[in-house]
Amino acid sequence: MRPSGSPMWLDLPRQKPHRQHHLFTSIFLFSSSLIPFILSFTPISFQPSLVDLSKFHSQEKFQHRFNIRSAIMAVKPSFSVPTIDISPYLRSPSSPEGLKVISSVREACTGTGFFQLVGHGIEPELQQRVFKGAEKLFKLPMEEKVKLDMSHSVGASNRGYELIGGQGLQEGTLPDLKEGFYVGHEIPASDPRVKNNTFLMGPNIWPPSELIPENDFKEPVSNYYAKIFALSLKVLDVIAAGMDFEGIAKVFREFTANDAGASVRLLHYPPDKGNDKNQLGAGAHTDFGAITLLLQDDVGGLQVWDYVGKEWRDVEPVKEAYVVNVGDMLQMWTIGVYKSSLHRVVNRSGQDRYSVPFFFDGNVDFILRPLDGSKRDGGDITVEGHMKERFASTYGRGRKREGE
């Protein structure tokens, strides 16, 4: 049964079980209660997905080579978004405490695909400066905000202001009730990649200092971008260490090279009065990239779909923590072992909600394929191609700018 008021597509069809390698047959027989939980993570129908398991013919080979015995055994058929302190790993990755961090992150990634990260070292004062800068930006008059619109981005950099309703993440719902502002690597317009319209490459758009002093916006946001980018690399290190797959270090090294595509996205969700069930702050979706690190304010509103309980679960804000989640690229690499889970934002608090997600999308020239080296039906696709597809589909459902 689906929960009252939820869309019909949340009755996710179960995937037919694949024939497993004998090493894993004993695991699944021993833990038969896990099978419905694991198989319930079928890719959702409205995603132009790279992670359809039926497209890959060597899942058996993958599971033989990819040592996930401990990961599979760690999966629990109950919903959990654990809080993980990464500081022991940052101090000493090979210490017993550091190894425990690796194990905890692996368990979270193979469970709901979500966890809250503390002990990360990013100063609370900087986090608050970014929130205050976002508030000042979104309180500007609309005539000033549209001057910073994404349509003014240089090349295909996808920088600047995104109007309310500009994106529609969930098919069949109203455009998302949020406005945003994209910031990425500061790459000059003279760079050949920018001139060639390489996706996610280009200079940032900043509000004029007479509207918002640089000390209140550009300086803290730029500083924050550098620090959250560095933290994301550490999180990817932890994830790679937990995979225990030969060659994973090389894969991640190539994926994070060449000014890897990544974005800080300042978001403002006005209060939703709940007059229309088809109006959401952010429609149900999975994230496009490898990982996301989300900084929430204390208002709340993030919900993750519980594939076992068949209901939406709130992810309560933890002060100064990052909500980390697996994206579609990481799920594709592992052929569904690491879970890119459905989530959404519903702001019925009566207050303005602010959040700052960081999306790590990777080297735009990197070819996305499963870690076992198998090919995807339809041919290979690069990070750039994948991101363009996903942006085109979600922004295509959004409210159009005047004149479009």
* C-alpha distances in Å from residue 124, one per residue of 62, 236, 335: 41, 22, 36
DSSP characters over 242-301? HH--TTHHHHHHHHTTTT-EEEEEEEEEPPP--S-TT--SEEEE--SSSEEEEEE-SS--
Q: pTM for this one? A: 0.81
Query: Bridge-partner residues for 265, per DSSP?
Result: 182
Confirm whether 364 is domain-assigned.
yes
Rounded Cα–Cα distance for residues 318 and 160 (Å): 28
Q: Is 78 helix (H, G, I), strand (E, B) or coil?
A: coil
- In this structure, are residues 318 and 116 in contact, taking their beta carbons and an 8 Å threshold? yes
| Confidence bin at 378 (pLDDT 50/70/90) | low
Residues of the domain holding 191: 19-396
Confirm whether 12 is domain-assigned.
no
Confirm whether 401 is domain-assigned.
no
> Rounded to the nearest 5 degrees, what angle is found at the Cα of 204, between the Cα atoms of 200 and 205?
125
What average pLDDT does range 67-81 have in this prediction?
57
Query: Of 393, 298, 315, 348, whose CA–CA distance to 5 is shortest?
Result: 348
Give percent above pLDDT 90 in the chain.
62
| Confidence bin at 398 (pLDDT 50/70/90) | very low
Confirm whether 278 is domain-assigned.
yes
| pLDDT score of 29 more than 70 | no
Specify burial of residue 403 (Cβ count, 10 A radius: 0-12, 13-18, 19+): exposed
- In this structure, are residues 202 and 280 in contact, taking their beta carbons and an 8 Å threshold? no
What average pLDDT does range 65-93 have in this prediction?
74
319-366 pLDDT tens trace: 999 999 999 999 988 888 999 999 999 998 999 999 999 999 999 999
| Confidence bin at 78 (pLDDT 50/70/90) | confident
Q: Is 383 helix (H, G, I), strand (E, B) or coil?
A: helix
Rounded Cα–Cα distance for residues 171 and 44 (Å): 12
Number of domain units in the chain = 1
6-15 pLDDT tens trace: 332 233 333 3
| pLDDT score of 174 more than 80 | yes
**CATH number of the domain that 168 lies in?**
2.60.120.330
Lowest model confidence (mean pLDDT) among 117-126, 189-198, 223-232: 189-198
314-327 pLDDT tens trace: 999 999 999 999 99
209-251 pLDDT tens trace: 999 999 999 999 999 999 999 999 999 999 999 997 888 889 9
Here the contacts of 162-167 (C-beta below 8 Å, separation 24 or greater) are: 163/399, 163/401, 164/270, 164/399, 165/398, 165/399, 166/395, 166/398, 166/399, 166/401, 167/394, 167/395, 167/397, 167/398
Rounded Cα–Cα distance for residues 60 and 372 (Å): 10
Q: Is 18 helix (H, G, I), strand (E, B) or coil?
A: coil
Specify burial of residue 334 (Cβ count, 10 A radius: 0-12, 13-18, 19+): buried
Q: What's the pLDDT at 371?
A: 86
Q: What's the pLDDT at 404?
A: 40
Confirm whether 245 is domain-assigned.
yes
Tokens standing for residue 340: 């890119």
Confirm whether 10 is domain-assigned.
no
> Rounded to the nearest 5 degrees, what angle is found at the Cα of 360, between the Cα atoms of 358 and 366?
165
Confirm whether 13 is domain-assigned.
no
Q: What's the pLDDT at 241?
A: 94
Confirm whether 8 is domain-assigned.
no
Q: What's the pLDDT at 46?
A: 29
| pLDDT score of 268 more than 50 | yes
In the sheet that 282-285 helps form, which strands lie side by side, from edge to edge? 282-285, 343-345, 302-306, 311-314
Phi-psi region of 203 (alpha: psi -120 to 50; beta: other; left: phi over 0): beta
Pairing of strands 322-326, 343-345: unpaired
Q: What's the pLDDT at 352?
A: 96
